[in-house]
Amino acid sequence: MKYRVRTDLAFEDEIMARGFWERVKKAREKAVVIRPSEPEEERPRSDIHKCQHDETPVKPCEIIEEFK
């Protein structure tokens, strides 16, 4: 059995978002792959991006950094 965390958080403040992202990157070092080397393999994944869905006109997200 594994303990899995999934989250999707939006911040108004870039410094706060990047601070959280740095903590996520540190935690990722201890994350494991579920069913490694199998067709159903599940790898850790996350990203930080500029979400522009609240703008008019709506713009697509812009990935800053990701890992998968």
- Residue 35: the pLDDT is 96
Cβ atoms 2, 32 nearer than 8 A = yes
The range of the structural domain enclosing residue 44 comes to: 14-67
Q: What is the pLDDT of residues 39-53, one digit of tens each?
A: 999 999 999 999 999
**Cα end-to-end distance, the chain, whole Å:** 21
Contacts of 53 (CB under 8 A, 6+ apart): 59, 61
Residue 40 lies in a domain: yes
Residues 6+ apart with CB under 8 A from 45: 66, 67, 68
Report the percent of the chain where pLDDT is more than 90. Answer: 97
Given this model, what pLDDT does residue 57 score? 95
Question: Does 68 score more than 90 pLDDT?
Answer: no
Residue percentage of the chain with pLDDT more than 70? 100
Closest among 58, 48, 39 to 18, alpha carbons compared = 48
Q: Using one digit for the tens of pLDDT, what is the confidence trace for 20-38?
A: 999 999 999 999 999 999 9
